[in-house]
Amino acid sequence: MQSPKYRFNQKDKKKWPIILAVIIGSLLLLTPVVWIGLHNWNLDNSLSALNFERKIDEPNPNAPEPTDSSVAKVDEGVEEPNQPQKPETPKEPLPPKEQEKTETPVKTPDEPKESPTPPVEKPANDEYIPNQKYPTTPTIVEGLIIANKHHPLPSDYNKGEDPKAREAFNQMAAAAKLDGFELVAFSTFRSFERQQALYNKYVEKDGQQAADQYSARPGYSEHQTGLAFDIGEKNFEQHWASVTFGNTPAGQWVANNAHKYGFILRYPLGKETITGYMHESWHFRYVGVVPATDMFTHKQTLEEYLDL
């Protein structure tokens, strides 16, 4: 009969192959796990490292005998074996930085001169300036207030009929009466609003293009200055505000004597492109005796006299 110790050893010997197989199997399983762990648990890095080690171990039959310097490079990890070293591309020198120029370059005589900016063409006197705004104060040249297609009055300009103009007309009417003509000033001062109503009526009747030839737009009328007097003869109303007034004896008398009292024929025949309006034989403007006489003598309009 065998002792218990002997039986234990016999059983233990039978287990050794199993234990050894378990140990070897565990090592085989543990080795790749440890390898992957050494490469930050990245499978791609682990396989790449394994492949790199295998390539280093395999000799290349075409490679030359390694020298001390090449071995040192492999050990140092400078470059892989059998990889030709690429020549370094020489760096191109950077162009020198240009200094900022502070001086204005001097043009040579051969350089063409810059053409000046063409001036904005001003509309003709018989045309309104597009989108022109009303001023806050009237235009006054050499003491004379201006109202034409280029120089509007403020919309709130409202001084009424000028007293000096009325007094001058009364003197002229008294002189005309001595010669047998009874003159009437049938239209003098007109407000902005009154001129606007008249102008709109003419536009509705004849269209704006036609109305602009014989009627001023609101703010552009001389009647708003209180210095314009539409003159006719009493009992001959058919010639009022008509070119036929200039053909009547009374109309001819006024045309030849108005300057003596400070009035000018504001829109004479043949000056339409200068004044901006058709001929009006009944429309007279008070400017004072001296300017009126000068304009009458030289057959000038107000625009020509003041070079407007």
pLDDT tens for each residue of 143-170? 999 999 999 999 999 999 999 999 999 9
What residues does each domain of the chain span?
Answer: 1-56, 139-306
> Angle at which helices 43-57 and 4-38 pack, to 10 degrees?
100
* Closest of 27, 46, 227 to residue 138, by C-alpha: 227
pLDDT confidence of residue 180: 98
pLDDT confidence of residue 235: 97
Higher-confidence position of 181 and 96 = 181
pLDDT confidence of residue 174: 98
pLDDT tens for each residue of 250-307? 999 999 999 999 999 999 999 999 999 999 999 999 999 999 999 999 999 999 999 9
Q: Tokens representing 242?
A: 């008509």
Mean pLDDT of the region 226-240: 98
pLDDT confidence of residue 23: 79
Give the alpha-carbon dihedral of 265, 267, 269, 273, to 10 degrees.
Answer: 150
* DSSP, residue by residue, 130-143: TTPPPPSS-EEETT
pLDDT confidence of residue 75: 41
pLDDT confidence of residue 201: 97
Mean pLDDT of the region 10-20: 66
Separation of alpha carbons 284 and 216, rounded Å: 15
The helix (H) or strand (E) run that includes residue 284 is strand 280-286
Q: Spelled out in words, what is the top-level CATH class assigned to the domain 139-306?
A: alpha beta
Separation of alpha carbons 60 and 279, rounded Å: 115
**pLDDT at residue 81 above 90?**
no
Mean pLDDT of the region 201-215: 97
pLDDT tens for each residue of 108-117? 445 545 556 6
Q: What is the mean pLDDT of the chain?
A: 81
**Res. 27 pLDDT band, cuts 50 70 90:** confident
